[in-house]
């Protein structure tokens, strides 16, 4: 199993990161992919990757919630890292209009800029979208020249949105929301094309049932896989094999 989206470098794990990693290994987690957030997250992320090289792989990007009036300067620093260190993806990037629309234009500019980095470097992108699926898909459609690939992480949308994402050649990151009673994913998951599905936790956020509301961790990827198996009538082994193949292919692990 591969947790394709985990922030185990976050301060929430500072007191027990080793134990978290050991629990992940005990649950059969073979890789933990670390998305960057902003300038401050780079150092702890790279330290975590260096501490667990057999498991952790880093991405580089600027999260839309950390886009502000200084976005051009921030992007310049983020881009400079792409020449200093090997990264498996550009991420996480995207558009988030949930809290604040003040910097929507800057978010869109940052998103397109980082999509172009991905094209130039032949890297997949990891997309964060919240209250912005229409805008995100419109921009992605304009930029998709056949060379872009990636995943819409933490997918919790409709079947129509899933199909639109897949038609652009993009995967769906399925996490803890799939286990929520009112998450709506029980209506969507059985109809998804499994060749586009990835497992993720987005830890420390969005812990699956029965840990909802508590700190999430990579070991709980198993609970997501079990939920997908239940809803798709596949075996757990089949879900693991399919999603592993998808992740290995997308991220060239």
Helix axes 133-143, 159-167, angle to 10 degrees: 20
Instruction: Please tell me whether 92 is known to bind a ligand.
Output: yes
Rounded Cα–Cα distance for residues 24 and 115 (Å): 31
Instruction: Please tell me whether 202 is known to bind a ligand.
Output: yes
The count of residues in the chain is: 253
Binding site residue list for a divalent metal cation? 5, 7, 92, 128, 153, 202
Binding site residue list? 5, 7, 92, 128, 153, 202
């Amino acid at each position: 199993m591969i947790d394709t989206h985990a922030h185990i470098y976050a301060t929430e794990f500072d007191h027990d990161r080793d134990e978290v990693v050991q629990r992940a290994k005990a649950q059969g987690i073979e890789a933990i992919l670390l998305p960057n957030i902003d300038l401050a997250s780079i150092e702890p992320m790279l330290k975590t990757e260096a501490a667990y090289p057999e498991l952790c792989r880093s991405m580089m990007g600027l999260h839309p919630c950390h886009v502000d009036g200084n976005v051009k300067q921030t992007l310049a620093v983020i881009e400079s890292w792409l020449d200093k260190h090997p990264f498996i993806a550009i991420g996480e990037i995207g558009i988030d209009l949930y809290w604040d629309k003040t910097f929507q234009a800057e978010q869109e500019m940052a998103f397109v800029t980082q999509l172009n980095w991905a094209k130039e470097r032949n890297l997949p992108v990891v997309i964060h979208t919240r209250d912005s699926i229409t805008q995100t898909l419109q921009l992605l459609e304009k930029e998709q020249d056949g060379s872009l690939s990636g995943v819409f992480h933490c997918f919790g949308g409709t079947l129509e949105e899933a199909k639109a994402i897949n038609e652009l050649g993009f995967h769906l990151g399925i996490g803890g929301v799939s286990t929520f009673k009112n998450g709506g994913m029980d209506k969507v998951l059985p109809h998804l094309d499994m060749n586009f599905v990835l497992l993720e936790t987005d830890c420390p956020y969005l812990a699956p049932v029965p840990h909802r509301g508590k700190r999430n961790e990579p070991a709980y990827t198993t609970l997501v896989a079990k939920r997908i198996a239940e809803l798709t009538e596949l075996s757990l082994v089949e879900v693991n094999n399919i999603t592993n193949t998808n992740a290995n292919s997308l991220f060239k692990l």
